[in-house]
């Protein structure tokens, strides 16, 4: 799959005044944005997790297409997807 989004790492943080900052892409490596882009910490968590969510779900779909012959890899991909979802919604 061709990557069309800004590659990670993506990060966010909460300032002392409660405002949220967001950094998309590594400084000095391709496109980079840092500033106030989101309204809530929940939005920031979801945005930061987006590349991992896409990768996890793409892997899961690919493995699901393989069928029961690769059940062990399917369960590993499912666990990974659940962990990333938990990270995005914590």
pTM exceeding the 0.85 threshold for the entire prediction: no
Structure confidence by residue, pLDDT tens digits, 32-80: 555 666 667 777 788 888 888 888 888 877 777 777 666 777 788 888 8
Q: Stretch 20-37: mean pLDDT, rounded?
A: 65
* Higher local confidence (pLDDT), 86 or 32: 86
Of residues 83 and 6, more confidence is placed in: 83
Backbone phi and psi for residue 84, each to the nearest 5 degrees, phi listed first: -70, -40
What's the pLDDT at 27?
62
Q: In what order do the strands lie in the sheet with 10-14?
A: 10-14, 20-24, 33-35
């Amino acid at each position: 799959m061709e990557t069309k989004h800004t590659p990670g790492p993506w990060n966010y943080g909460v300032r002392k005044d409660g405002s949220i900052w967001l950094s998309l892409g590594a400084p000095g490596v391709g496109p980079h944005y840092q500033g106030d882009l989101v309204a809530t910490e929940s939005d920031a968590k979801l945005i930061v997790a987006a590349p991992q969510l896409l990768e996890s779900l793409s892997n899961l779909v690919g493995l699901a297409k393989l069928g029961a012959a690769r059940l062990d890899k399917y369960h590993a991909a499912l666990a990974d997807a659940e962990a990333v979802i938990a990270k995005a919604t914590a």
